[in-house]
Amino acid sequence: MTGYGLATTEYQNKKINVEIRSLNSKFLELLVKLPKIYNDKENAIRTICGKQIERGKASVIFVIENTSEEVSPNSTLNIPLFHAYYNQLKELADSLNAENANIFHETLGISEVWNTRQAELNEDEWNAINDTFLKALAAFNTFRVDEGQVLAADMSVRIKLISDSIKEIEQLASARVPAIKEKLELILKDAVGANNVDQNRLEQELIFYAEKYDITEEKIRLKSHCDYFLSIMKEPESNGKKLGFIAQEIGREINTMGSKANDAQIQKIVVGMKDELEKIKEQLLNIL
């Protein structure tokens, strides 16, 4: 599911920001960006996210800003090495008649000219970071719950439209057998004459067509699937995949009804039901 959560905390001379975003995906694809000093905490963050996010292409970004005017650099410039690199680059540029105005900045960008001192791990600071992360995750989950309620309302409306369509089909289906009987009688009268029509044979044919086009079982199963779909949506657990399986069964019954319809009006209703079901399936890709 899509989701967004942001939390900010002030800790001593630092500002801690944690941002969580997610896009739709069938599986969990998780990106975690932590300050290098806290890389050993990544597995714990991933474990928590795996249990709560479950599905989606998600990113969890930690940003720690120093808000103090005092500067305590973790890197110092190796001046002799800087001179060596600078002179070599300048000599190379002069020999090639190349532009050398940016050599100073380019030399500063060489990582080897900096002596980097690893910052010390601060457990109290990490506790503040972790609390901020949990707040961001709570905001993220609230966002998804709100989105899920909107999706649930939309799917409920579409399921109801499918259920209402069953009632329309029932009204039309009852008129099919008399229509078939009338059509067969006309054909037989034209072919062999009214007096030569075998009524027993005609009744046998009507029974055959009645059984062939009967959609009673499909209507019952379809109604049951729709009711089950609505009941599963109300459960607190994540049931996106289960709802997807139920949607497949709904589609199977709708297709069978369409193949047995033998009626233009029923076919038209079936097409409408299929359209609503496809919209439901699209929504199911967005939920847990």
pLDDT at 193: 62
Q: Which CATH class is domain 3-70+124-142?
A: alpha beta
Q: Where in the chain is the domain with CATH 3.30.230?
A: 3-70+124-142
Amino acid present at 153:
A
Mapped onto helix, strand or coil, the DSSP state of residue 186 is helix
pTM as predicted: 0.64
pLDDT at 176: 67
Structure-token pair, residue 2: 């899509």
DSSP output for 134-168: HHHHHHHHHHHHHHHHHHHHHHHHHHHHHHHHHHH
pLDDT at 279: 93
pLDDT at 214: 76
pLDDT at 33: 93
| pLDDT digit string, tens, across residues 121-132 | 678 889 999 999
Please say whether the beta carbons of 224 and 253 come within 8 A.
Answer: no
Q: Are strands 14-23 and 3-11 parallel, antiparallel or unpaired?
A: antiparallel
Q: Give the chain's residues under pLDDT 50.
A: 71
Contacts of 113 (CB under 8 A, 6+ apart): 77, 78, 81, 82, 85, 107
